[in-house]
Amino acid sequence: MSLPGFIDTYKTLIATPSISSTDTSWDQSNQDVINNLATWFESLGFKVAVTEVPDVPGKYNLVATLGQGEGGLLLAGHTDTVPYDEGQWSKDPFKLTEEGNKLYGLGSIDMKGFFAFILEALKQMDISKLDKPLRILATADEETTMAGARDIAARQSIKPEYAVIGEPTGLVPVFMHKGHMSEGIRITGRSGHSSDPKNGLNAIEIMHKVLAELLKVQQIFKDKYNSPHFEVPAPTLNFGHIHGGDSPNRICGCCELHIDMRPIPGVSTDELFITLKTALAEIDKAYPGAIDIFHLHEPIPAYECCATSELVKVAEALSGHQAEAVNYCTEAPFIQQLGCDTIVMGPGHIAQAHQPDEYLDLSFVTPTTELLKNLIQRFCNSAQAN
């Protein structure tokens, strides 16, 4: 079959919903996106393997391979998107709209559109001359649990030497980012009539004590840890959601807080979680059985690639940008578990991600396509190596 053109490929990807969400009313399968990618890469001569992600029905990963053996280059991206704010989009999120030198659509930069760039680069190359393996990885559920990337890391079925994840970095190489932890703290008290406080145990009052201790933990993070590579140099602790009680004339029987913590490289997720539990130990002792601390999802560790890696240096030279660290997180720590040097670099800007009217500026089309062609030549063609 003949491959669709760049814009038509983009249109198909955007028109195929693949939202992942912890809210089941939003959550969707990514199978149709994977099937389209499988067809397109097979038409270019890639061997395609599609696997269902364990314990996540309807969610699939794809690995497309050109060549044999280990080493070479992996180009990676996720096939899911976040939900969208229907009332805030001025355009149909599932219809690619070209306007004002921009391509609008859900997933245009975060990040289904990256696969259209890969296909466009491959169409412009003589891939028969590549003598090292080129692999394309398309994962599921990056926006929630990262289950797809975790499964790829666990399988260890591919062994690239280098990997590039095409998240929207403005084509600036990213060699380091923070991790991500979402934790829940639930206080279970004892409800009762508000006219007599001694007949109950007010969960909101206990949560007030918890919040006071967590504010101290924020300061501990600032005092104990520091990485000058980041704009925000210390791990952060954010109060994101709290809910408790149901009526002003009832003693609150349950209160729940959700927090976000972001470890820096060199600081494990376990270390931050232990710091959290230690800070609340005295309250736990004072109110036995009242405090439950739990993961809202499995923690995502921080990631770092050696700044002097050949991949980093080549990416800096090709992009014209010095590699940098960012505060958000990606699938990089899991891809890196395959044993490959890994960077994050792709078209679009993170400021447009997760926003109404998400868009790709068309000024990225030529430089991104050329960048991918050069990376593929550099790491999949022995004649191009130093």
Cβ distance 368 to 117 under 8 Å?
A: yes
Measured CA to CA, the distance from residue 71 to residue 347 in angstroms comes to: 25
Query: What is the DSSP track for 90-129?
Result: SS-TTS-EEETTEEESTTSSSSTHHHHHHHHHHHTS-GGG
Number of Cβ atoms within 10 Å of the Cβ of 124: 12
Catalytic residue among 120, 141, 142, 304: 142
Told to judge if 27 belongs to the known catalytic residues of this protein, a careful annotator would answer no
Extract the runs of DSSP E, i.e. beta strands, from 263-327: 291-295, 303-304, 324-326
134, β-bridge pairs: 66, 73
Number of Cβ atoms within 10 Å of the Cβ of 12: 18
Buried b or exposed e, range 67-83, using 16+ CB within 10 angstroms? beeeebbbbbbbbbbbb
Measured CA to CA, the distance from residue 206 to residue 197 in angstroms comes to: 13
343, β-bridge pairs: 164
Structural element, H or E, at residue 7: helix 6-14
**Helices 203-224, 269-279: crossing angle, 10 deg rounding:** 130
Nearest to 132 by CA among 110, 106, 108, 162: 162
Told to judge if 86 belongs to the known catalytic residues of this protein, a careful annotator would answer no
| Residues recognised as catalytic | 80, 142
